[in-house]
Amino acid sequence: MDQLLRSQGPPEELCPGACLTCAGMEGVTPGIRGNLKNISLGTLGYEHEESGLKVCKQQYKRGKMLPSNDTLNIDISTETECILLKPKELTGRKAELKLNSSFFNLEFYRLIQVEISFTLKGIALQTIHARELPDCYAFQNTITFNNRAHSGKIKIYFDSDTDIQECKDWHIFNSVLQKNIQYILVFDGFVILSCLASLILCTRSIVLAWRLQKRFVNFFLEKYKRRVCYADRLEFLNGWYVLVIISDVMTIIGSILKMEIKAKNLTSYDVCSILLGTSTLFVWVGVIRYLGYFQTYNVLILTMQASLPKVLRFCCCAGMIYLGYTFCGWIVLGPYHEKFEDLNTVAECLFSLVNGDDMFATFAQIQQKSSLVWVFSRLYLYSFISLFIYMILSLFIALITDSYDTIKKYQQSGFPVTDLHEFLKDHSSAGYRKDRTSFPFLCCCRRQQSDDNLILIN
C-alpha cells in the first residue's frame, strides 16, 4: 500500500507473471485491515463503518489461449465484477477467505484492468497553530492496475481527489480561533479597498495620459506638419502604472478567493496562490521604480529598456533554430531516449543543455540499439551545444553588454533628446526649433538625418 500511495507521476510497472493477489492485494490488506489510526501519520479514517475497499476487475468475457499452437479464441465483449472489502472483514479469517475467493483468480490474457477505490477522511490540525479553524478533508483514492496494452507489464496508477469540507463538530479548549479569523477577514477587506483605490487612480492617470498624447500628436501634426514617432508616443505611457494595475487586479481577486477559502466555501488553493504570488512579485519589481531616482541604481532599468527590443528580435531568430532541434530530437531520438519522448520533455532537455546541466547523462543514456541513430545523436548533441552555448548565448550576452555600454556613455555625456523633450524645453521660450543638433533615441534617428540634410541645403 505504501508503495502504491507513493506512485505519483510515472506509473510503476508490475510483471503479470506473478499473481496479482500477491503483488497487489496482500500488500494492501496488512495495513488497511488493521486500524488506520495506528499506521497512518495523519488523522485518517474511513468515511463510515460500511465503507472500505471496492475492488473491480474488468476482463474479456470468455477466452482460451494456447501459445504453443499459436491459438487464440477470445470474446472481445467485456465484463466487470466488483467486490467490497469492509474494514471489519479485513481482519482474521474473513480476510483470508475473501482473498482466496475465485474473484482474485485472474487470467492475465483476459484481464484488462483492476481498480481499487476507497474513501478516507482526515482532519488537518496544522491550522490550529496559526490560530485558524481546522480543515476537514475527504480523499477519494483510486489505484488502477492497467493491463490494456497486454505488453507483459502492468502499469500501476494512483489518483487521489481531495475535497475540503467544514468540520461539523469541533471543540478546541482555550481557543480564540473565531476572533482571529474575523481579524484576518477585516485585514483582507482593507487590502482589497487599498488595491481598489490604487487601481482607480492608476487607471485614471493612464486615461489622462492617453488623452494628452492624442492632443500632442494632433498639435504636432497641425503646427509642424510632422508625425510624432512611436518612441515619443510611448513617453506618455507609464509602464509602472500598468504593472501596478495588473498587480492590483491579481491582489483583489486573490484576496477574495482567500476570504472564501477562510470561510470554507472554496478549495481553489492553486488559483489563489498563483494570483497572490504573482502580484507580490510585481509589487517587489515595482520597488525598482524608486531606486531609479538614483543614477547608480538606474543603470539596470535603462539597460533592460534599451536592450529589450534587440533581445526580442534575436530570440525570434534563435527560437526558430531551437524549434528545429526540438522537433528533430523528438522524431529521431524519441524511441531511444526517455528525455526525447515528447515535445515538452525535449524542449526542457535542450534548455537544460544550454545552461550546462546534465550533459553527460544525456549523452550516456542514448540506447545503442542502432549504430546509425547513435552516431546521429552525437552529431545532434555536439552541434546543438556548440551552436547555442558558444555562439547564440554569447551573442545574446553581447547584445545586453552593448546596451549597457551605451547607457554608461549616455550617463557621462548626456542622453539623446527626443522631439517631446526638446518641445517641452524650448516651447516656453523660442518655440520648437527644427534645426536641432541632438538626435532622438530610437525611431527618430532616421528623421534626424533628413533634418540635417535640410540644414546643409539651406
Count Cβ atoms below 10 Å from residue 272 Cβ, excluding itself.
20
- pLDDT at 127 (0 to 100): 62
- pLDDT at 431 (0 to 100): 45
The pTM of this model reads 0.59
- Residue 333 in this model has a pLDDT that exceeds 70: yes
Domain limits of the chain? 2-166, 177-286, 298-413, 419-457
As a residue count, the chain comes to 458
Give pLDDT tens digits for 5-53: 333 444 555 554 444 443 444 444 444 444 555 555 557 777 666 677 8
- Residue 116 in this model has a pLDDT that exceeds 70: yes
Read off the C-alpha cell for 370: 542502432
Q: Report the alpha-carbon distance of residue 329 to residue 337 in Å, rounded.
A: 10
- Residue 432 in this model has a pLDDT that exceeds 50: no
Q: Which amino acid is at 98?
A: K
- Residue 399 in this model has a pLDDT that exceeds 80: yes
- pLDDT at 178 (0 to 100): 55
Give me the mean pLDDT over the 423-452 stretch.
Answer: 46
For every residue of 327-362, which 3-state class applies, written as one string? HHHHHHHHHHCHHHCCHHHHHHHHHHHHCCCCHHHH
- pLDDT at 31 (0 to 100): 42
392-401, long-range: CB < 8 A, 24+ apart: 392/318, 392/321, 393/354, 395/314, 396/311, 396/314, 396/318, 399/307, 399/310, 399/311, 399/314, 400/303, 400/307, 400/311
- pLDDT at 13 (0 to 100): 53
Q: Report the alpha-carbon distance of residue 324 to residue 132 in Å, rounded.
A: 53
E strand or H helix at 83, and its extent? strand 71-85
Q: Among the listed ranges 69-78, 302-311, 362-371, which one has the minimum average pLDDT value?
A: 69-78
Percentage of the residues of the chain whose pLDDT score is greater than 90? 19
- pLDDT at 422 (0 to 100): 66
Q: Report the alpha-carbon distance of residue 323 to residue 319 in Å, rounded.
A: 6
- Residue 144 in this model has a pLDDT that exceeds 60: yes
pLDDT, the chain, mean: 75
Give pLDDT tens digits for 126-143: 666 555 666 778 888 899
Q: Which residue has the higher pLDDT, 258 or 428?
A: 258
- pLDDT at 173 (0 to 100): 57
Give me the mean pLDDT over the 380-396 stretch.
Answer: 90
- pLDDT at 244 (0 to 100): 92
Read off the pLDDT band of 145 (50, 70, 90): very high
Helical axes 343-354 vs 371-385, angle rounded to 10°: 50
The DSSP 8-state label assigned to residue 91 in this structure reads: S
Q: Please report the DSSP string for 132-188 in residue order.
A: ---EEEEEEEEEEEE-TT-SS-EEEEEEEEEEEEE-SS---TT--HHHHHHHHHHHH
- pLDDT at 282 (0 to 100): 92
Percentage of the residues of the chain whose pLDDT score is greater than 70? 69
- Residue 267 in this model has a pLDDT that exceeds 50: yes
Helical axes 239-262 vs 269-286, angle rounded to 10°: 150
- pLDDT at 330 (0 to 100): 93
Q: Which residue has the higher pLDDT, 263 or 337?
A: 337
Q: Among the listed ranges 91-95, 324-328, 400-404, 424-428, which one has the minimum average pLDDT value?
A: 424-428
Q: 245 forms bridges with which residues in the sheet?
A: none
Give me the mean pLDDT over the 390-403 stretch.
Answer: 87
